[in-house]
Structure 1
């Protein structure tokens, strides 16, 4: 376990080599360094995980302090790593899934300008994400938090020659910064009130200092929630995620599906003791998750871009995780985080294979009939889509999503349970809508299947992990997170499992009815007046971009225009004008004429005498 620090060192070293090479390395060398560094990190992580599980340390925690980072005016922060069941789970997901995505990217990005730069960014991201999940204090966690935000900006805008990509990167950066500022406020409150930012000390001191529902702990938890909803694209800071699909498809798999967007879930789970002292905020977490998962599900129903459908799906699935956190199903939230990383990474990588095969076409209505041409991508979508729709018994998604629904029922949150069931129904429809339209029906574009180890291996491994085999991997959270109220099951749980499975199957059957064949019924619905209205509204993701433009962007631009004519600025600008005027007046007196100079001397003398006499 003493090798834990190497999981961070390898990707950081890979970033340094690639960054300072400044594109002088060949594509093969860049891929070897970019993939190799994350592969070494994954192997080290596997060794650490096996060592931890084989000989669990006392209290279930392994700490590794590398050096004292800060000691200023009472603020002490070490550069220390904290490994327990929660961070161990995240370590495995980040390095394991991250390596598979890097391997796939070495095939997908081949021939692209900036190949070496791409791997430099992704290596820096892996380092930042590991710093986020392993940091033993909130300041170090925040350092990694900002690091992944920077890498997200760089990778979304990777194709910076197109203005829309730069705008998407800027939008993601600004929206997530709103949440980051709120999170910083939370850190300030916690340090002022408790005198430390060490996570374990905070969890010990907070119950001693605060009673349940106290103002300061409520404000701190609310601020942390603000950071979480920004990074995890939850209501009301969810608008950036769909536009973030402007980045390369492996970026969508790495950052915007499997790892970074789950950072908010990890933050709330890691600071669970603070949220338990703020029950109103914890209830709000569940409401935010339940609302987001339903709204995102409706938005995904009408999208035409294959990646945007998966983006709204990600938003919805993270909503499930927030819902689980809100009802106290801590272990279920992290379990779903893990299984979601498997099947959503699979779906995004498979979408990349489809996009590449179809000559960078992303509109599913311009595809069709691809199942014969792209058998591996089709199998990936069938397995990954089934896991996303929580097909009963055979998929990993069923076990994690069912656990969340059961915990919502057992904790008495009927409204959130219904939201979860509605989300499951919508998920089945939009997932298999994508599959039926893109892979079945008439072929509308030529497609050429990808090949090679870097293309096939990540998809095959993730296919395996997206089945019930992936559900066998149980995160060791017993000593880290509180036990949920519905931990034990019974007949009621089995009934709910049957109900949720029936909902998933009903959604798939409805999708087959609507989107297989000639699609006359769904076309008639879409062309009706209510259908056009709802379709446009959902396609625009409920109009949040329009609303924020009117509430924030346009008033800001108006203020800028008003300040451009600011009277204070105009008053200050009089000073240089007076100086320039005096200069021009003095210069005009230098005529070179003797009579003018004599007259000026006499006039000056008369003026001086007049002043003296008066």
Structure 2
């Protein structure tokens, strides 16, 4: 039965439909039932998307990648097509995204149980998840930019969820404008590359980059524009402050944003890796940005006393390691790092959520005795921590050494950073 593998393109539509249905409860169109059905419907739709992804992944495992193309606009020599790449990597990413979203939405049932914006939250999460699923399936630089813009808007709306609080409004605004800097530079790169390559398809861009050398100065400027968007999305220095400000939003939204959304920027960068190779200078810049962020963000995290801000800087630091892997041409390692990081960070955020909601504080200096008072939360927190630092037999134990194997001989200083 090949139904699931032939309809992979429909997976983003599950949560989009769920989000649209949830809107019926958000402005109060449906009043008699209360807003809780909006959450339950979204959980069911996301679960269906997860089941579809897992079955499809099983059916296409180790099969060659397939590409679907739909012409979106063709006028005056401009051909914009909507390209979809169906491979074990893209479908595996779908399974990861939908699976973590199911857990996040179940978590939100308890965390936001008494919140007045229940239906609006689930509607926004539905749109947010649809954007992430569409991005990992997309095989077009142009539409990848469109999806990144959808995620930027979703971040703004979810960070500003409690819009009656002044700090929330300023946090949402600052996060939006910081990401806009990277988005605008990326848009300039998207527009500039088309006259030379004649395409936005990632596969064709890779062929063009390998066979059509261009001026060194232009290639450097072009690649600098293309990496600006992922730098902002992954909260890398100097565009890292938005992630700190985004902590004002609901914690269930932070689970998605800090475990998955920041990683999709790195996913786009991995797709662009063949283009970035035409400029060795930019590849070095990617490595330097990742190394500087990994070191400085780690030091800043140590100095924080707010529990959520500690994790926000750890997110930036770990994404710095992913940038190092990409800049040193370890794309497969970068993908595996993203998978390990996403699961571990989601577990960490869920763990600290139980601490915050039961203690009504995020100040580490006022907390202590987690293992004694919340043993299950303590176990979850330790598992998430060990998964990030390479403790056997968890994921980081297998992936981090893989990154470090080739660094001592080629770039010893990066091994020291790792």
TM > 0.5 between the two? Answer: yes
Q: Partner of 2:237 in structure 1? A: 235
Q: Partner of 1:476 in structure 2? A: none
Contact 1:175/1:230 (<8 A) preserved = yes
The 2-side partners of 1:50 and 1:74 are apart by 40
Cα displacement string for residues 91-131 of structure 1 (whole angstroms, at most 9, x for unaligned residues): 22211212211221122111111000001111100111111
The 1-side partners of 2:381 and 2:100 are apart by 17
Contact 1:74/1:195 (<8 A) preserved = no
Contact 2:263/2:338 (<8 A) preserved = yes
The 1-side partners of 2:76 and 2:42 are apart by 40
Q: Partner of 1:41 in structure 2? A: 49
The 2-side partners of 1:41 and 1:70 are apart by 29
Cα displacement string for residues 471-523 of structure 1 (whole angstroms, at most 9, x for unaligned residues): xxxxxxxxxxxxxxxxxxxxxxxxxxxxxxxxxxxxxxxxxxxxxxxxxxxxx
Identify which of 149, 152, 171 aligns with 1:149. Answer: 152
Cα displacement string for residues 273-314 of structure 1 (whole angstroms, at most 9, x for unaligned residues): 101211111111111001001000000112111111111111
Contact 2:333/2:399 (<8 A) preserved = yes
The 2-side partners of 1:107 and 1:69 are apart by 42
Q: Partner of 2:22 in structure 1? A: 18
Contact 2:22/2:119 (<8 A) preserved = yes
Segment of structure 1 superposing worse, 43-52 or 401-410: 401-410
The 1-side partners of 2:188 and 2:126 are apart by 29
Map 1:398-409 to 2 at 5 A: 398-409=397-408
TM-score between the two structures when normalised by the length of structure 1:
0.65
State the 1:389 CA deviation.
2.5
Cα displacement string for residues 51-107 of structure 1 (whole angstroms, at most 9, x for unaligned residues): 1116x1xxx212234x42111322222233212243233222211212211221122
Q: Partner of 1:352 in structure 2? A: 353
The 1-side partners of 2:407 and 2:102 are apart by 34
Cα displacement string for residues 407-447 of structure 1 (whole angstroms, at most 9, x for unaligned residues): 3224x112211112xxxxxxxxxxxxxxxxxxxxxxxxxxx
The 2-side partners of 1:248 and 1:155 are apart by 7
Map 1:334-413 to 2 at 5 A: 334-358=335-359, 360-391=360-391, 393-410=392-409, 412-413=410-411
Q: Partner of 1:247 in structure 2? A: 249
Q: Partner of 1:3 in structure 2? A: 7
Identify which of 78, 82, 86 aligns with 1:79. Answer: 82
Q: Partner of 2:270 in structure 1? A: 269
Q: Partner of 1:69 in structure 2? A: 72
State the 1:20 CA deviation.
3.7
Contact 1:232/1:261 (<8 A) preserved = yes
Cα displacement string for residues 120-154 of structure 1 (whole angstroms, at most 9, x for unaligned residues): 11110011111111112111111111001100000
Map 1:417-456 to 2 at 5 A: 417-420=415-418
Give structure 2 stretches of 5+ with no counterpart: none
The 2-side partners of 1:289 and 1:131 are apart by 26
Q: Does 1:28 align with 2:27?
A: no
Q: Partner of 2:326 in structure 1? A: 325
Contact 2:83/2:201 (<8 A) preserved = no
The 2-side partners of 1:246 and 1:99 are apart by 22
Q: Partner of 2:194 in structure 1? A: 191
The 2-side partners of 1:270 and 1:28 are apart by 39
Q: Partner of 1:295 in structure 2? A: 296
State the 1:218 CA deviation.
2.3
The 2-side partners of 1:331 and 1:251 are apart by 28
Moved over 6 A (4+): none
Identify which of 134, 138, 146 aligns with 1:135. Answer: 138
The 2-side partners of 1:201 and 1:180 are apart by 23
Q: Partner of 1:226 in structure 2? A: 228
The 2-side partners of 1:156 and 1:403 are apart by 36
The 2-side partners of 1:75 and 1:354 are apart by 54
SS in 1 for 2:369: coil
SS in 2 for 1:259: helix
State the 1:157 CA deviation.
0.9
Contact 2:11/2:53 (<8 A) preserved = yes
State the 1:333 CA deviation.
0.9
Segment of structure 1 superposing worse, 224-233 or 19-28: 19-28
Give structure 1 stretches of 5+ with no counterpart: 421-614
Give aligned pairs, total: 410
The 1-side partners of 2:371 and 2:35 are apart by 31
State the 1:339 CA deviation.
0.3
SS in 2 for 1:79: strand
